[in-house]
Structures are given as structure tokens and as C-alpha cells.
């Protein structure tokens, strides 16, 4: 049993769908993007745990978890060398960042973009977009120009290379209770964004240890509540709210039960993200601190179902939604063509065995979006 826990035999898959921009020139000139979904590109995720320390009484185990990704062609609809016309995330991020700089900096970047013929979209392979990455030439040019004028420029990208998962290292540390009686899993986050799950004796039914982050504009939004989503406390009730911390979006999400489901003959409680956790501040005032826009753009936060996470992604203009803008404000969905939101395929859920608190079945479905706009002096 210990070996099965240390090296889980249950298959765990990650599916990537990539939206291709099919009208690149029109979109470059300010038109509405026409999108075609490509994929899925399926990867089997192998998790392994390395024991770091076991307490003298055997009540706690400290370990590290490692993940590796293995392409599964027979489950995929496409190959890793498929070429896709994709949003030029590095260029758009640079264009946004330079708006905070001097007028001369904006002119300089605009000139570099023209020299290198940088576009809003670019054509890359799936492998490059996801894992292997590709060299971002304009960053090298910016660094060289900065050194000439005695203004060193630090690259936000490792090796001046961009890929959504390029050199992403999940350095994850855990502490696990071996005796779950009257204990609740509490998640802590260190400065390096590494997990530590400690076991804290339950003093009151709704007690919660919280640790403050610094990504958001208020104490409520910066609270770190919940577990990593794989296990909760025993004896779960359908009337309670469950908390998880999503490390990829730097915030806690709370789930509410929507009934029971049968998975291979086992009755489980199904939990979905509470609607109010994703509502805009016009409906849920406590969510106002998730708005990281400047005051002049705060009106852009008055929408449901979208979370800008630039503050936890080194300033990149990234926003998170459900796939195909499922349950997102209709005004957002109208900005592009080619989406078909569907609850069956695009909703996140966790199915939990209530006696043990174990997550037996789950689907985490998110869409990574890039905010684009017309930037002054950037073409």
C-alpha cells in the first residue's frame, strides 16, 4: 500500500487544446479573431514521491512530489510537430510592459519589432508552444541595446526562450498525516511557491489556518485557504464548503456540493466551484481585491467568470476562464468567433468519497487567455 501511495498506479492525464487564429492578418489589423480548436494533445502525467523525513512517532511524513509528462499519441488528435498559428505572447507581454516605460523605450521596442517583423500571431509547433519552447529573438536584441546604453535589461524568460511549460519545475514539498482522525489538511505556501501541507489538530469545526500572499489587492484575496484538492478531511457533509488552493492561478477557490454521483459503483459527493467565487465585484463585493487593473480600467473587472493573473505571472497579460468562456460574461464571449461552451466538457468538478475525504474522480478545466489591445507606438 505504501508503494502504491509513493508511486500511484492510477493513470492521470492532461489534455491540451490549442486555439488556432485562422484570420491572422485581419486580427493583426484589429479585427475579431476567428478561432479553431486543435487537439486534444494528451499527456500521461507520472507522479512520484520522494520521502524526505518521517517523524519519530510515525505520525507525519515529509516528502517531495515530482511530475513528468509523456505524450500519448493514441489518445491524441494530432502530433507534436503540428504547426499552429498562435498568439505571440512574448511580444504582447513586452508591448504591455513597455507602456510603463519612457516614450523613447516605446519607440525603441517598436523599431526592433519592425526590424524583426514581429506580429501579433506566429506559427509554431505544438511541441514548441508547450514544452520545448522557442528562442525569442527580440529579447536578445533588447538586451544588447540596453547594454550599449548602459541600461542592463533582465530577461523574464529562462534562456530567452518561451514555452508555456518550458523548464517549469514543480518543486513540491508536503507533510502528510498518517493518522487522519480529528485532523484537517492545511496548505501553506512558502516564498518560492512550494507546497507544505501540515496536519493541525481541529479545534473548531470551521477552523482554518490562513497564510497571506501578496499577489492581490487585499487581505481577503491574499488568504491561502484549503488543500491541494486531492484529499480533504474525513466525514465530509454535502452542506459544507470545501477550499482548495490553485497554485497555477495563485488563489484559493471554494467548492459547493451539487449532489451525488455514481462512479464505478461508489457513491460520491460532487463539488463544483461556487459561482460567487468567480463573480465580478458588482455581484460579489469581496472579490474586488482580485482586480489588478489600474483605477482607470477598473470597469473591466465588472465581469463574471474571468480572473486576470498578471500579478502572479511576471506581468504577462494572462487571464483565466473556463474553456470556451463557459459561464463567462457574454460580453467577453462576443469578442471572438469560434467558441461553443458546454457544461459537460468545460466545467470543473471534484467527486469525493465523503467518509475518507479522498478525491476519487475530478476534472480541472481552465482556459489560458491573452489580453490584447492596441498599444501606442507598437505595431
pLDDT in tens, 77-109: 999 999 999 999 999 989 888 887 888 888 888
Please report which confidence band the pLDDT of residue 149 belongs to, taking 50, 70 and 90 as the band edges: confident
What is the rounded CA–CA span in Å between residue 197 and residue 211?
12
Which pLDDT belongs to residue 56?
Answer: 81
Least confident stretch, 144-153, 242-251, 330-339:
144-153
pLDDT of residue 146: 81
pLDDT at 161 over 50: yes
The percentage of the chain sitting over the pLDDT mark of 90, rounded to a whole number, equals 46
Could you give the dihedral angle defined by the CA atoms of residues 223, 224, 229 and 232, in that order, rounded to the nearest 10 degrees?
-90
pLDDT over 90 (residue 35): yes
User: Is the pLDDT reported for residue 192 higher than 50?
Assistant: no
* Cα diameter, the chain: 69
Q: Could you report the per-residue pLDDT of 8-34, keeping only the tens digit for each?
A: 777 789 999 999 999 998 998 889 999
Q: What is the pLDDT of residue 197?
A: 36
Is residue 207 scored above 50 in pLDDT?
A: no
Give the whole-angstrom CA distance, residue 192 versus residue 39.
33
**pLDDT the model gives residue 301:** 86
For residue 183, pLDDT over 70 is answered with: no
Q: Which long-range contacts (CB under 8 A, 24 or more apart) does 290-297 make?
A: 290/216, 290/217, 290/221, 290/251, 291/217, 292/216, 292/217
Residue 57 vs residue 162, higher pLDDT: 162
Q: Which residues contact 163 (CB under 8 A, 6 or more apart)?
A: 128, 129, 130, 131, 132, 133, 134
Least confident of 36-40, 44-48, 50-54, 111-115: 50-54
- Which pLDDT value is given to residue 378? 55
| DSSP state letter for 362 | E
pLDDT of residue 168: 65
Higher pLDDT, 175 or 180: 175
pLDDT greater than 70 at residue 377: no
- HSE-CB of 137 using CA atoms within 13 angstroms: 8
Query: Which of 10-14, 212-216, 279-283 is the most confident on average?
Result: 279-283
Band of pLDDT at residue 374, cut at 50, 70 and 90:
confident
Alpha-carbon distance of 67 to 317, in angstroms, equals 27
CA triple 16-126-118, angle to 5 deg: 120
* DSSP H or E segment with residue 117: none
Amino acid at each position: 500500500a505504501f508503494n502504491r501511495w509513493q508511486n500511484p498506479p492510477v493513470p492521470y492525464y492532461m489534455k491540451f487544446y490549442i486555439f488556432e487564429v485562422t484570420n491572422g492578418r485581419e486580427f493583426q489589423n484589429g479585427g475579431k479573431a476567428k478561432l479553431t480548436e486543435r487537439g486534444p494533445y494528451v499527456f500521461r502525467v507520472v507522479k512520484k514521491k520522494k520521502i524526505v523525513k518521517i517523524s519519530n512517532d510515525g505520525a507525519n511524513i515529509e516528502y517531495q512530489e515530482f511530475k513528468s509528462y509523456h505524450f500519448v499519441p493514441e489518445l491524441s488528435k494530432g502530433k507534436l510537430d503540428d504547426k499552429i498559428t498562435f498568439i505571440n505572447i512574448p511580444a504582447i507581454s513586452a508591448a504591455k510592459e513597455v507602456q510603463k516605460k519612457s516614450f523613447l523605450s516605446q519607440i525603441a521596442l517598436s523599431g526592433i519589432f519592425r526590424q524583426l517583423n514581429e506580429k501579433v500571431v506566429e506559427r509554431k509547433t505544438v511541441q514548441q508552444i508547450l514544452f520545448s519552447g522557442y528562442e525569442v529573438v527580440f529579447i536578445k536584441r533588447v538586451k544588447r541595446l540596453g547594454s550599449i546604453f548602459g541600461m542592463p535589461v533582465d530577461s523574464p524568460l529562462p534562456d530567452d526562450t518561451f514555452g508555456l511549460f518550458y523548464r517549469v519545475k514543480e518543486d513540491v514539498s508536503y507533510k502528510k498525516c498518517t493518522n487522519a482522525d480529528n485532523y484537517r489538511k492545511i496548505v501553506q505556501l512558502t516564498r518560492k511557491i512550494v507546497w507544505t501541507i501540515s496536519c493541525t489538530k481541529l479545534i473548531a469545526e470551521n477552523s482554518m489556518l490562513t497564510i497571506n500572499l501578496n499577489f492581490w489587492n487585499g487581505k481577503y484575496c491574499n488568504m491561502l485557504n484549503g488543500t491541494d484538492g486531492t484529499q480533504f478531511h474525513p466525514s465530509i457533509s454535502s452542506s459544507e464548503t470545501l477550499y482548495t488552493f490553485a497554485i497555477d492561478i495563485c488563489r484559493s477557490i471554494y467548492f459547493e456540493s451539487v449532489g451525488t454521483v455514481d462512479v464505478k459503483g461508489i457513491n460520491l459527493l460532487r463539488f463544483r466551484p461556487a459561482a460567487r467565487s468567480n463573480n465580478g465585484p458588482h455581484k460579489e463585493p469581496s472579490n474586488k481585491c482580485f482586480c489588478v487593473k489600474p483605477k482607470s480600467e477598473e470597469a473591466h473587472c465588472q465581469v463574471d467568470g474571468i480572473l486576470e493573473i498578471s500579478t502572479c505571472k511576471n506581468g504577462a497579460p494572462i487571464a483565466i476562464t473556463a474553456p470556451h468562456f463557459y459561464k463567462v460574461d457574454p460580453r467577453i464571449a462576443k469578442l471572438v468567433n469560434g467558441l461553443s461552451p458546454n457544461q459537460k466538457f468545460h466545467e470543473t468538478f471534484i467527486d469525493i468519497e465523503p467518509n475518507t475525504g479522498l478525491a476519487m474522480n475530478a476534472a480541472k478545466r481552465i482556459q489560458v487567455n491573452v489580453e490584447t489591445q492596441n498599444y501606442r507606438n507598437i505595431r
